Amino acid sequence: MTRTISLLLPLLLAVPARAADRTLDAMRDELGRTMSSLAMPGMQKPYFASYLLSDSTDYAVSASFGELVDSRGDVSRNAAVEIRIGDRSFDSSGYAGSDFRSFRPVTGGTVIEDDYDAVRAGLWSLSDGAYKTALEKYAQKKAYSEKKGIKELYGDLSAEKKASRLEDVHPAPAFPKEDWERRARELSAVFRKYPGVQSSEVRVECTRRVNRFVNSEGTRYRVNADKAHFYVYAETQTGGGLKVSDRKELHWPACADIPAQEELLAAVDGFAGRLDALSRSAAGEVYLGPVLFENDAAAELIGQLFVRGISFPRRAWADNDDYLKYYIDKGGLVERVGMRVLPGFISVHDDPSRTEEAGRPLAGHYRVDSEGVAPGRLELVKNGRLAGVYMSRGPVRDFSSSNGHGRAALNEFPSGRPGNVFVSSRKTAPPVEIKKRLLELASEQELDYAVIVRRLASEGSLDIENILAAPVFAWKVYRDGREELMNGVEFTGVTYRALRDIVLTSDEPYIYNYYQPGPYAMARGSVAASIIAPSAVLVQEMELKRTDRKPDRAPYLEHPFFAENGGKK
């Protein structure tokens, strides 16, 4: 259930420090009734169940070209119910059948007020549907297993210790609506300086969120899950007619972490300037040679190839295996434990307990995952060899228990996903020396230029055939150091071998907060994560091709503002 509210109202669904939580009590009591009494005649009772209630107060302000587009606030409470039939070794979970769209928990909006009876009634209604679905899925999954003669089973639910984490929850501070409307107008007006940008919008979102969770094993949590986002979207068109859009995203753990206006103005101006320059850039060419990834692109390379490669280690079953890979992702590196996946001079670990790095907040911080399991420091790569993968409570061949990385949005089943990823390298050099080495490698291959990539398309654009997104901002760099922006190129033939072909990294860390898209194509949520990696990563050889996308016809008339004002404010 959602209600629109005044943007000056604080969070209504708050539990003062150490006060009784009647909502959590209602969840516990209704869950007990579900486990003891929910059963159809002649059918199995649940052996496991869990409830999640997510209370949110959301504020959003957006503007375009100096004018306000939207300003709103909402209070909502949503529930997710999971019920399992069978036992830990084989249950109703993890079977998509032929309907990928419905492969998700049973969810729904419920009462906003903390009324004990009303909360129980909402959960009772959702539980009834979840139970019937579980019975159906269990029968289908069992028949599928027998039909396929599947013998290699690792269990469906790992045994974990009962845990409890109850954080104090306080009302959110009043959202400064008028101030953010002013700031959004000012930020969006930056695009009035850039005639090469055809459309643009900026948006700020602040969320005050409390998640409550209980399961039939006695685990429970009440945690704060605040978040803040700043988005800048824009589209341009090259001289060759190719439309190019990009979205800069900045993420923080809370609204209070959003930096001063001057920093955001600089970020928007840099973004707009690059897109404007892209509109005047030349089309790229086929290229085979060394590629240097810098800043955002360095972290995106690690995120899209490595981090996503060790996420989602367990894929659901489906009636048609040929279709499955298009609808539910599975990390391509998860079965390479003990093998070399990165150069021997690189090691990687994940530590969700870290709240900041070098004074900057980390979006990937959390104390308990979506299944109630607390994470610790997780060693992922030791001297280039894969030592671990992200695990939920769904066992796989090499790992039988969770490591506290079972994460999900409300509309997803939990799967192994990142928190704070730390990449360390023993083979480093200052950025100027890395660029010098890039040109040396190009010269050794008798190339006229090398390539620097500073921004990749979003991880959400990946598909079964492309494990690394296309460059949005890529430059040719010549032997004299001159750089030339190009457009319309894509990587081709990329495999995980590219990670092992890293030859050098910078000695400066780069902090990249982002949201990792989930594995489900039909119900894709995202979770906050951070990558702390070298600011420059040099790969010995990669291949680029011209894009297959077709150009569009340019507008017949010039943008009215620039036509009348000559591009001046």
pLDDT in tens, 50-85: 999 999 999 999 999 999 999 999 999 999 999 999
How does DSSP assign 392-454, residue by residue?
A: -SS--SS--S--S-EE--TTS--EE--SEEEEEESSEE-HHHHHHHHHHHHHHTT-SEEEEEE
pLDDT at 3: 56
CB proximity list for 454: less than 8 A, separation 6 or greater: 293, 294, 295, 296, 297, 473, 474, 475
pLDDT at 1: 58
Instruction: Report phi then psi at 274, rounded to 5.
Output: -70, -40
User: Is residue 36's pLDDT more than 90?
Assistant: yes
Q: Is 46 inside any structural domain?
A: yes
Nearest CA among 525, 517, 529 for reference residue 413? 525
Q: CB atoms < 10 A from the CB of 370, how many?
A: 26
Q: Is 198 inside any structural domain?
A: no
Distance CA 142, CA 492 (A): 41
Distance CA 303, CA 447 (A): 29
User: Is residue 17's pLDDT more than 50?
Assistant: no
Q: Is 439 inside any structural domain?
A: no
Q: Is 520 inside any structural domain?
A: no
**Contact between 503 and 540 (Cβ < 8 Å):** yes
Q: Is 446 inside any structural domain?
A: no
User: Is residue 433's pLDDT more than 50?
Assistant: yes
User: Is residue 8's pLDDT more than 60?
Assistant: no
| Tens-digit pLDDT profile for residues 494-521 | 999 999 999 999 999 999 999 999 999 8
Distance CA 299, CA 314 (A): 25
Distance CA 382, CA 520 (A): 30
Give the mean pLDDT of the chain: 93
Distance CA 515, CA 500 (A): 25
Q: Is 160 inside any structural domain?
A: yes
Q: Is 154 inside any structural domain?
A: yes
Q: Residue 453, exposed/middle/buried by CB under 10 A (0-12, 13-18, 19+)?
A: buried
User: Is residue 307's pLDDT more than 70?
Assistant: yes
pLDDT at 521: 84
pLDDT at 7: 40
User: Is residue 554's pLDDT more than 90?
Assistant: no
User: Is residue 566's pLDDT more than 90?
Assistant: no
Least confident of 3-17, 66-80, 234-248, 368-382: 3-17
The band of 10, judged by pLDDT with boundaries at 50, 70 and 90, is very low
The band of 462, judged by pLDDT with boundaries at 50, 70 and 90, is confident
Report which secondary-structure segment, H or E, holds 285. none
Mean pLDDT of 538-566: 87
Least confident of 304-313, 347-356, 464-473: 464-473
Distance CA 201, CA 249 (A): 12
Report which secondary-structure segment, H or E, holds 10. none
Q: Is 62 inside any structural domain?
A: no
| Tens-digit pLDDT profile for residues 360-395 | 999 999 999 999 999 999 999 999 999 999 999 999
Q: CB atoms < 10 A from the CB of 259, how many?
A: 13
pLDDT at 6: 45
pLDDT at 380: 99
Helices (H), 38-156: 116-148
| Tens-digit pLDDT profile for residues 338-359 | 999 999 999 999 999 999 999 9
What range defines the domain where residue 95 resides?
22-55+76-165
Count the domains in the chain.
1
The band of 2, judged by pLDDT with boundaries at 50, 70 and 90, is low
Angle between helices 22-37 and 116-148 (to 10 degrees): 40
Distance CA 551, CA 530 (A): 35
Distance CA 453, CA 475 (A): 6
pLDDT at 488: 95
